[in-house]
Amino acid sequence: MKYSIVLLLMAFFVGCGGPEPRKPVEVKSGSFYKESIERTKKLLAEEEKAIREIMENDTVHEYLTSPNGFWYFYETKNDTATYQLKTGNQILFSYNLMTLGNDTIYTAEEIGPKSHVIDKQQLFPGLQNAVKLLKINEKATFFFPSPLAFGYQGDNKAIGPKTPLKSSVELHTIIIDNDSLN
């Protein structure tokens, strides 16, 4: 009987080896992210190609390339203005939004004049950088690939996901913040 209890206790201790972690059912290889990056690069290349074709077919305007990844031309240039916008300046501007095929999504009247504080308030990424290129009383047309517009989500209204945009932006007024003069 003594031996059977000892054997039973030994079997009990040997059988209790502690919990074994379960093996994952599916191993993540990161391929989803790699495929997503490749899809995004392909989409961006297609959008940039479409924008370049528009620029090549337009012999009227002189296009400039922004270091932020969009293109533009001036409709109205103010050569007498010298003040460049700085962080903290408040501006009043208006803009419209169109497809690359010139279909109007939102008119400037629908959007209305917008008050904006440079680098302190959010606009969609392309417009955030586009307004900084303008001087008072200038108007320019910008071409934004979808990542600089409303990206993969759209605006949940009239702008669909992955939509490149064309926008005419006019800067009406600059209120200079005293801190930006230093």
Q: What is the CATH number of the domain that holds 95?
A: 3.10.50.40
Confidence of residue 91 (pLDDT cuts 50, 70, 90): very high
Token pair 């031996």 is at which residue?
A: 3
Average pLDDT, the chain: 89
Helix, strand or coil, per DSSP, at residue 161: coil
DSSP string, 95-153: E-EE-TT--EEE-HHHH--EEEETTTS---HHHHHHGGG--TT-EEEEEE-GGGTTTTT
Which token pair is 61?
A: 């305007």
Look up the domain containing 40 and give its range.
33-181
Domain for residue 76, yes or no? yes
Element housing 64 (H / E): strand 64-65
Q: How far apart are CA 138 and CA 85, in angstroms?
A: 12
Domain for residue 52, yes or no? yes
Count of structural domains within the chain:
1
pLDDT in tens, 2-40: 666 666 666 666 555 566 777 767 666 678 888 888 999
Whether this model's pTM surpasses 0.85: no
pLDDT in tens, 31-87: 888 888 899 999 999 999 999 999 999 999 999 999 999 999 999 999 999 998 999
141 vs 152, more confident: 141
| 51 within 8 A of 112, measured Cβ to Cβ | no
Which token pair is 7?
A: 């054997």
